[in-house]
Structure 1
Amino acid sequence: ILPLNLIAVLSTHQGSFRKELFAFNSLQVSPSLSKIRSYTKMDTKTPVLTTKAPPPLPGIYSQAIIANGFVYCSGAVPMDAETGKIIDGDIQAHTHQCIKNLSAILEAAGTSLDKVVKVNVFLSNMDDFAKMNKVYSTYWGDIKPCRKCVAVKTLPLNTDLEIECTAVL
């Protein structure tokens, strides 16, 4: 049990846990604690924008927002960033492209697919569920993110798939 004036922060570093203790009453704030405090400010949101993924609609939404130690990615459709067009192919090709776009956005935010904790998948046809899962499952390690998958009537640009995610920094 830690004294009340200490906080324990567990963080992963190359697969191992390390414990860092910080004094609440200390006048000197360590860089790690300062970083933690900046990530937990609820009034701070930072937009993420990269040209390696399709651009958001101007004035409508951001590709992603960093807030409170998390990266919240908007839905990614199977659009090629260079052409601005939905790629040709089936649901499996579209799944690869959506995750490629999310990966580029997460990288621009300073995180990665390995740190994704929640995924929302939107399919225009639930008959594509198994084929989408076949590709989707190849992107996650042993610890899969939480996920919701729903069928919706229509998706933007009449595509068959949209994927959004939340990751930790």
Structure 2
Amino acid sequence: MTKQIISTESAPAAIGPYSQAVQTGNLVFLSGQIPLDPATMEVVEGGFEAQADQVFRNLKAVCEAAGGSLDQLVKVNLFLTDLSNFAVVNTLMEQYFTQPYPARAAVGVKELPKGVLFEAEGVLALS
């Protein structure tokens, strides 16, 4: 098995011992993205919707660095500290993704790194 590290300055740098994404074959495994502005490495302001929007922008940047797009994500895992924000996530996903949508899991969690409200990760299948 060979693995290639995917990295881009258009998404936040890793804040621990991990890569933004790892490719093996035609699959790319994207690490969890939190709502950090890649230029400042600070959490974006504006509440849940602003944070979720930044997360999807970060995922998009990593997908593009791998030579793909959000529409090639086959699986997305979402982590929310408050599941009442689930409708906001659905609305944003309709803006960022087109049908057929990826498989998805949504999990309510007690807390996330840096006190953020949302995190997402996924698996990209390249052509």
Normalising by structure 2, report the TM-score: 0.95
Unaligned runs of 5+ in 2: none
* RMSD (Å) for aligned C-alpha atoms: 1.0
**Is 1:44 paired with 2:19?**
no
Equivalent residue, structure 2, for 1:148: 105
Specify every segment of 5 or more residues in structure 1 that has no aligned partner in the other structure, as ranges.
1-42
Separation of aligned partners in 1, 2:15 and 2:44: 18
More relative contact order, 1 or 2 (CA 8 Å, 6+ apart): 2
Q: What's the secondary structure of 1:153's corresponding residue?
A: coil
Q: Which has the larger radius of gyration?
A: 1
Deviations along 1:106-140, one digit per CA (max 9) or x if unpaired, are 11111111111000000011111112221122211
Q: Check conservation: 2:80, 2:106, Cα contact below 8 A.
A: yes
Q: Which residue of 1 aligns with 2:115?
A: 158
2:73 is the alignment partner of 1:116: yes
Q: Secondary structure of the equivalent of 2:18?
A: coil
User: What CA distance in whole angstroms lies between the structure 2 residues aligned with 1:127 and 1:112?
Assistant: 28
Identity rate, percent: 38
Q: Give the drift of 1:78.
A: 0.7
> Do the aligned residues in 1 keep the contact of 2:32 with 2:122 (CA within 8 Å)?
yes
Shift of 1:94: 1.2
Shift of 1:86: 0.4
Partners of 1:128 and 1:114 in 2: CA distance: 23
Structure 1 residue runs of 4 or more that deviate by more than 4 Å after TM superposition: none
1:98 CA drift (Å):
0.4
Q: Could you say which residue in structure 2 is the equivalent of 1:61? A: 18
